[in-house]
Amino acid sequence: PHAGPVDSKNEAAMSELVPEPRQKPVVPMKPMGINTNLLGYIGIDTIIEQMRKKTMKTGFDFNIMVVGQSGLGKSTLVNTLFKSQVSRKSSGWNREEKIPKTVEIKAIGHVIEEGGVKMKLTVIDTPGFGDQINNENCWEPIEKYINEQYEKFLKEEVNIARKKRIPDTRVHCCLYFISPTGHSLRPLDLEFMKHLSKVVNIIPVIAKADTMTLEEKTEFKQRVRKELEVNGIEFYPQKEFDEDLEDKTENDKIRQESMPFAVVGSDKEYQVNGKRVLGRKTPWGIIE
């Protein structure tokens, strides 16, 4: 059930890309300075370019979910990642709003354009998660939401009068924020990731990593990795999706050395070496 940002199974969209079947050419069709016909060169190697063009035009959906206790810097990090005010808190809700009594799920959409590529970004926030005295089963509404989006998409996909473009609300990626305690994962962290890693791509991140020393950070990363392994929790990039040896080598490195990512977010820009960068100003310097 792991969703990818571009749906390659959508035959309706595909059929428009592929030209009508034509008689086999007697000579290779590669144009070599010859006057080409209206359609130009046809070959499977042009499909990628056709798909790229189409995706550039229509844009693609990317839905990212953030989960973790309030105050861990979730809103700040998504704003940092996309270099724009895309989080729930910058879109009308204010920072001082009360923490809800139950987990709420709030999705906010934006259209971001970069280098001619349009991305329909949806940030799904989960205020209230892990904020109660009793956080038992507080992952349940999140799991329910994720599964509902799969169902919605599937329903549209198997529909006889299928839409030309099915709106994709599936959660492509879930950033799970771990508190930078330096101790171990909390039972709630394990519980959430155990259940949700089965339905969504989870990327565990250590929040506010600037609050740890370099040694603390390295040690904490190791500890978290160990705990995830002991508890049989798979995170992104999952082993089962390694396509070949090259993928495996690359992803093993991420899985064994980088994960969980230690992140620092900031909404503020500073001038560093003549460049404006997002950073955090501290008494001992600016963290880019």
Q: Give 22 or 95: the residue with its C-beta nearer to ligand GDP.
A: 95
Q: Give 175 or 200: the residue with its C-beta nearer to ligand GDP.
A: 175
| Least distance (Å) between residue 78 CB and ligand GDP | 8
| Least distance (Å) between residue 221 CB and ligand GDP | 16
Task: Give dist(CA 93, CA 128) in Å, integer.
Answer: 14
Q: Give 96 or 257: the residue with its C-beta nearer to ligand GDP.
A: 96
* Closest residue to ligand GDP, based on beta-carbon distance: 73
| Least distance (Å) between residue 208 CB and ligand GDP | 4
Question: What separation in angstroms does the CA of 115 have from each of 6, 55, 56, 252?
Answer: 18, 13, 10, 31
| Least distance (Å) between residue 44 CB and ligand GDP | 46
Q: Give 72 or 146: the residue with its C-beta nearer to ligand GDP.
A: 72
| Least distance (Å) between residue 139 CB and ligand GDP | 17
Q: Interface with ligand GDP by CB under 6 A: which residues?
A: 70-76, 89, 95, 208, 210-211, 264-265, 280
Kindly state the tokens that stand for 130: 């892990």
Q: Give 260 or 265: the residue with its C-beta nearer to ligand GDP.
A: 265
Q: Give 42 or 105: the residue with its C-beta nearer to ligand GDP.
A: 105
Q: CA 246, 249, 250, 254: dihedral to nearest 10 degrees?
A: 160
Residues in CB range of 97: below 8 A, 6 or more apart: 89, 127
| Least distance (Å) between residue 90 CB and ligand GDP | 9
| Least distance (Å) between residue 178 CB and ligand GDP | 12
Q: Give 75 or 169: the residue with its C-beta nearer to ligand GDP.
A: 75
